[in-house]
A and B are shown apart, each in its own frame.
Chain A
Amino acid sequence: MTAPSTGRSLADFTVELDVYSGPYEWLLALILKEELEIFEVPLRELVGLYAGSRDPEAANALDRDTDFAGSAAALILLKSRTLSPALEPEPDGEDAAAATPEELAERLQEYLKIRRAAEHLRDRLARAAGHYASAHTLPPKPGRLRVSGDRVTLAARRAFSRLVEPPVRHLGPITVTLQELAGMIRSGLFRGPVSYEALTRDMDRLRSAVAFAAALSLAQEGVVRLIQPEPLGTLTLEPLEPNR
């Protein structure tokens, strides 16, 4: 019989590494939050620590093993992605072929240099922090503005690039026009004032919206007067010109 799984079978597993000392679950959280570099975590040592702490007789041994294997596999995947800079495949298929150990070593060495340079920059920026320049800002000098052709091209390309048009297939074909509904309102007014509700009682939402626009249009032309005694109250359309 196995103990019911609590979902935190590794809660009591703690690790002692050069870069971290404490609960294993916190180690995972720190890695996921990118507060600890996966690059610096010795996975082999981690597996060794788990193997050393493993109690095969424990009631939740299977849960623990499964959870650890799952999280360790995720860490390996994460680390391999960090170390192998294969992102999107190159258009010419250059990266499609698996990188040789030599190529990987080259890349890793290059990354290591950049990493050290980043550390140098961090220290340098920290040392230089706290300098505040004059608060007086010079106005731009249009006469001496240097215009780079490349930058103008980039800016123009951005400004004139066509945006992706939104899909409109779900809207269906247009089946009603403003003129059509204006004509319907005119004919509805033959017998005198009529309420907007009565006019649009049998219409769907699209037609009633267009009918409202048509009523506004007719009111602007001086054909009808819109009467609404109180906000959101009944809207009545009253003819202003003699009906033909």
Chain B
Amino acid sequence: MDKTQSHSDAELLNLAVAGDEPAFLLLYERFKNSVFRYAYYMTGSRPAAEEVLQEVFIALLRQGGSYREKQGDLGGFAFGIAKNIVRRIQRRERGYEALLGIEQIGETNLISAADSLTAQAVRNERVERVQTAIASLPDHYRQVVVLCDLCELSYTEAAARLRCSVGTIRSRLNRGHTLLSRKLKPLHKSRTDIEVSGTEGCLI
């Protein structure tokens, strides 16, 4: 394992394609979180994100021979595969409306001991609204928002992934934020109303 630690991503991929399990595991550790998070935020579904993660690594093993380091880093190659699978899933799921699964209900609705009921409910509502607003963005804005704001990639990294300039990333992100703020406006407004009315607004 120590030997493989020093290897580059491309070398690890070559070893993994040749059947080296430790190399594959290390490669998986390096990329799994970024791929999974990207897929999760793009699809808004955990099962879909798991499907994407699995398919990305199977595709890497199958198409690993066709990867050339000159064309870009392996992260970008994996991201390209993930993007295509996400698009395929989105096309497939377009006709359906997602319901909350048991796991998701558990994650979002269970109240931890530390948080109060109201704070948790407000947070859940806000998270849900932001997620819905991101999902409703046009694809080119959504990609940038997901990569920069949620996957915490730098502008340069996002530009490399999406194969566009840093300036384009900046402008798309700005436009994406403006659209998101507009979509989340009712939430801000209602929050302000509560602050203004306070307890005096209560009838009881």
Q: Say whether A and B bind each other.
A: no
